[in-house]
Amino acid sequence: MQDDDFFMRRALDLAARGLSYTRPNPMVGCVITHRGRVLGEGWHEAYGGPHAEANALAAVRPADRPLLPEARLYVSLEPCAHHGQTPPCADLLVAEGIRDVVVCNDDPFALVSGRGTAKLRAAGVAVATGCLAAEGRWLNRRFFTFHEQKRPYLVLKWAETADGFLAGPYYQPVQISGPAAGLLTHQWRAEEAAILVGTRTALHDNPRLSVRDWPGPQPLRVVLDKNLSLPPTHHLLDGSQPTLLYTHRHRPDRPHLQHAQLPEDAPDMLPGILADLHQRQVQSVLVEGGPTVLNALIEVGMWDEIRVFRSPKKLHQGIAAPRVGLSGLQEQRRVGDDELFWYVR
């Protein structure tokens, strides 16, 4: 069992290399061993590319291929059983003669969801599941939330002063967190599928909401702009990356700019927006909005992580940061001159 944990943890470490690049697919890693020796390993590197099992099998040396029927294969998510961008991995394992498979997590995706392990067992493959299951769910928390709860995974983030403000009076923009926190924020942007802000943040801060100081794909920019009050000169309307505006009004789409019209009689836009983002296959959202959006999500318990930078600076007056009693503190550490508080539900 100790060897199983060791090799599955290696599979999870490999899987994590696909962060930002596999979505909306999950991150998956695979290790093939024979009597404790690694024959091959691989991970799902990018959406549309070969899956982890195929990459691990391709890494096996020709001289070691006769050992595959005696090998044990570790994979961090149930092998797929359907034709998507690539052929079914369950069929591949059977064809390659693999007879012993250890799986970290069952796949919640409806087209897999037990079919992969069932196909393997029907072919005579011994399959064990649940090895390091909690660690696997944490790694693919966005994927599991998206498929099990039918909504994007929500990460709320803000920076506040030591006396509890996140903007100056009348929403005057103020640089609160330091450069180290800014760099980490760009890393977080690359890790999520979309970034969401409300109207006031878009108007007053004129943010780009782009990844500039970290390698990774650009997220979808999501703006709540009920009355289309954002000036065309603002960065969010510059057409530099995909942007989605939620509004009560109609306006034709443009390249890299889409409009989603919501009913004016809806008392709360957020449930409809989250449902629409789910339909658009947006798996996760980093919410960098102001207090209106942040408080609305917190009040109804609609969040999965909250990350707060607390600066030593003081404003003495301004727009207050969300005032909530949060539980589930996962991490507290220094980031440059700021303190990071990281909460998980």
> Which residue segments constitute the domains of the chain, with CATH numbers given?
2-145 (3.40.140.10), 150-344 (3.40.430.10)
- Contact partners, residue 280, CB within 8 Å, separation at least 6: 244
Q: Is the pLDDT of residue 237 over 80?
A: yes
Print burial letters for 131-147: b (CB count within 10 Å at least 16), e (below 16).
bbeeebeebbebbbbbb
pLDDT score, position 262: 85
Q: Which of 274, 325, 2, 17 is nearest to 149 (CA)?
A: 274
Q: Is the pLDDT of residue 208 over 60?
A: yes
The model's confidence at residue 323, banded by pLDDT at 50, 70 and 90, is confident
Please state the pTM of the whole predicted model.
0.93
Q: Is the dihedral of CA 194, 197, 198, 203 positive or negative?
A: negative
Residue 340 is given by DSSP the state E
CA distance 249 to 228: 7
Which residues are the active-site residues?
Answer: 53
Q: Does 322 sit behind a cis peptide bond, omega within 30 degrees of 0 on the bond before it?
A: no
Residues 248, 254, 257: CA angle, nearest 5 degrees: 65
What are residue 188's DSSP bridge partners?
none
Calculate the average pLDDT of the chain.
93
CA distance 126 to 138: 26
